[in-house]
Chain A
Amino acid sequence: AQTVTQSQPEMSVQEAETVTLSCTYDTSESDYYLFWYKQPPSRQMILVIRQEAYKQQNATENRFSVNFQKAAKSFSLKISDSQLGDAAMYFCAYRSFPQGAQKLVFGQGTRLTINP
């Protein structure tokens, strides 16, 4: 079974600075997808960024980028120019390639605080 580990229960960063959230995972599959979701106090999970394991290029979405290290099974999220609205719980998640189970496997989450 796949597992996802987020070793940082809480992180904080000054507004406008850069922060990196860590995620590692364990799988025997060669093809899969990785995601970062954001959960603000409203509880609604919002997709931040996705990465296909077969792509070597790291995904980027505006101020959000990932550092995907397939051999190390590491998938960190970098948030640049942090904004107050980035404060939330961040979850790393894994999903198998289409032939496998389509459920998301989540890490325990990292609570990100932005200091003004």
Chain B
Amino acid sequence: GAGVSQSPSNKVTEKGKDVELRCDPISGHTALYWYRQSLGQGLEFLIYFQGNSAPDKSGLPSDRFSAERTGGSVSTLTIQRTQQEDSAVYLCASSLRGGGSTDTQYFGPGTRLTVL
């Protein structure tokens, strides 16, 4: 079946604007993750959704960042009042169960965000 998809592929925005990044996980996967890949910080975890449980938001860098997952499927990562340091590639991943020895996180191609 189809893999994890993300849109847009690239996004250029002006400082201070809000942006929304979308992730479509693999059908049937109950767990969804957002990561950020930037030159200075490497790959860092942002947020994790598992089924109907409260999300793990421990990686969100500030209250300008938020995410939701509607109907247990599509997720949107929102960044308000973007700053230049938000420029990065935002990667989404999904997995079947969110745990267990054989549970694999499958990644999407990412959204490259550039804040001017």
User: Which residues on A are within 8 Å of B, measured CB to CB?
Assistant: 33, 37, 42-47, 50, 52, 91, 98, 101-109
Contact = CB atoms under 8 A, between A and B. Distances in A.
Contacts of A37: 107
Given A33-B101, A103-B48, A103-B56, A45 B107 contact: yes
B75 interface: no
B109 A44 contact: yes
**Which has the most chain A C-beta neighbours within 10 Å: B42, B50, B91, B98?**
B42
Contact of B99 (A43, A98, A104): A98
B43 A43 contact: no
Interface string B26-46: 000001010100000011110
B43 A106 contact: yes
Contact of A102 (B42, B50, B101): B50
9 contacts: A33-B101, A45-B91, A45-B93, A101-B58, A103-B33, A103-B59, A104-B45, A104-B105, A106-B42
**Which has the most chain A C-beta neighbours within 10 Å: B43, B58, B108?**
B43
A43 B110 contact: yes
A72 to B, nearest CB: 22
B1 interface: no
